[in-house]
Structure 1
Amino acid sequence: MRDESRRSEPGTGSTPAAVDPVPGEPAATATIEGDHALLLTDYHAGYEAGLRYERGVDVPSRAPDRRERLLALLERTGPDRLVVLGDLMHSIGDPGGAERGELEVLFESFAGDLEVTVVKGNHDGRIETWLADSDDIGATITVVPGEGIALGDIGVCHGHTWPSRAVLESEMVCLGHEHPCVRLEDEIGGSRVERAWLRGRLDPEPFRDRPEYEGVSWLEDADETPPRVVVVPAFNDLVGGTWINVAGQSFLSPFLPTGLAGAEAYLLDGTRLGPYESV
């Protein structure tokens, strides 16, 4: 998947913010405030315990597999910073024993010099009351609200609520929550569902009349180009998601799909599927 954002803006000589998907993985790298960063979303630690509690479905825990996949990604990409775009854990309230234990083992496995930014998702409950204060975790952890913050030129949020003003004033907006997937059919009627990236620009329509965004320049000046937007696929491969190319599927975020302008879908391996509505 070629990142067109790497091209310099005409007349400036500067390179805009860039988010580069890791081939074959639901994660991306970016340069944030001079740091090499790895971005991912919707880890949903403890998901299997949630299935037992919420639906009575007994699924063996895949916590070790999730942890090893993430640790392998960290080794592969060598980031200074890890940014989780929300839903690090699965339970809505306080984490249960298995869920909290999964996260503690995960974070104890991180290098001590790794900086971790966790954007609170709708499943993250009161994660800030214990995660950042755990004595057994060597990594530096910062938990920020779900409406997100600007990290250099990149605005990060979860997507379950309206983004902060700082996010909308960034060059690029990255969010999760949606778990975008595509359903692909073959010539004999067989089908499969695969996780997908969505990339495009923000459309001003859903944001324009909200008072908290008054004065945001691209919302008021039709000649100004809106920020690029990336909807990141879920890291957890069990959680399902929004089938973006199936009629009748509703998006989860309050500003999607109205807020997507010309968004295209890509598979994890980089295959470009074109405009997501026509896949």
Structure 2
Amino acid sequence: MRAEVVPGEPALILRGRKRILIVADLHIGLVRYVDENIVNKLRDLANDVGADEVVILGDLKHSLGYDRRVENLLRDFDFILVKGNHDGGLEGEKELRIGKFHLIHGHFKPKDFGDFLIVGHAHPSIYLYGVKERVWIFGEWKNRKVIVMPAFNELCSSTPINLRRPAGFLFREWDYSNANVATLDCVMLGKVKDLKVQCSSTFRQLQ
């Protein structure tokens, strides 16, 4: 089984006997008038990639409490939820193992890890030349590979990783300066430490 980024989308596919689509941080309810669009986008994406299963890697909803609207919006949509810190009142898994891949939301540290960690929660972005955009992070931590997923909901606030550390246990322990960064369109931007230098240069030019 292997992991592949869906070009142009904040989504992964695990390819093996099944095609498993993974997205993180939908935050339904953040801006209510776009909730249905977010759900429809996920449905369409699952159909487009021929997904056999869909995994939502935490923070399906934005409200910390129970929100009936979420259940109503997703009533006819089959998915597996790996619960995030916003998913109180919803049924789901704390973590999920699929082959060598260990899927967690990222707000707590699990007792055990697989060889390949996939996390959400951090909402990573990059800030360059006055523009901030969502990105992927690919790296290694404690001899295992790591993928940090961008938020599926483009209206979520994000953390520019070349300016400050994102949220989550991983970033409290991981020196991610050597991790690689890519845009949603799969353009490799380089290592985080080099992007910090570029960001500093940008600020100097603006002064």
TM-score (norm 2): 0.87
The CA deviation at 1:231 is 0.2
Which amino acid counterpart does residue 118 of structure 1 have in structure 2?
A: L
Distance in 1 between residues matched to 2:71 and 2:175, nearest whole Å: 33
Distance in 1 between residues matched to 2:70 and 2:134, nearest whole Å: 24
The CA deviation at 1:260 is 4.9
Counterpart mapping for 1:30-41 below 5 A: 30-31=14-15, 34-41=17-24
TM-score (norm 1): 0.66
Is residue 2:205 matched to residue 1:237?
Answer: no
Whose Rg is larger?
A: 1
Match of 2:101 in 1: 154
Match of 1:207 in 2: none
Match of 2:49 in 1: 77
Which residue, 137, 162, 171 being the options, matches 1:198? Answer: 137
Counterpart mapping for 1:43-54 below 5 A: 43-48=26-31
Matched-pair contact (CA < 8 Å) for 2:61–2:70: no
Distance in 2 between residues matched to 1:20 and 1:255, nearest whole Å: 22
The CA deviation at 1:245 is 0.9
Number of equivalences: 194
The CA deviation at 1:242 is 1.3
Which amino acid counterpart does residue 253 of structure 1 have in structure 2?
A: G
Match of 2:191 in 1: 275
Match of 1:178 in 2: 122
The CA deviation at 1:277 is 2.6
Q: Deviations over 1:182-201 (max 9, x none)?
A: 0120xxxxx11110000011
Which amino acid counterpart does residue 7 of structure 2 have in structure 1?
A: P
Match of 1:144 in 2: 93
Distance in 2 between residues matched to 1:277 and 1:76, nearest whole Å: 36
Instruction: Name the SS of the counterpart of 1:183 in structure 2.
Output: strand
Q: Deviations over 1:129-179 (max 9, x none)?
A: xxxxxxxxxxxxxx101xx231221100000110241xx1x2211000000
Counterpart mapping for 1:83-122 below 5 A: 83-95=55-67, 100-108=68-76, 110=77, 114=78, 116-122=79-85
Match of 2:201 in 1: none
Matched-pair contact (CA < 8 Å) for 2:36–2:73: no
Matched-pair contact (CA < 8 Å) for 1:180–1:196: yes
Fraction of identical pairs, as percent: 32
The CA deviation at 1:102 is 4.1
1 or 2, which has the higher strand percentage?
A: 2
Distance in 2 between residues matched to 1:101 and 1:263, nearest whole Å: 38
Structure 1 vs Structure 2 CA RMSD: 1.6
Q: Deviations over 1:228-263 (max 9, x none)?
A: 1000000001111111011xx232112215325531
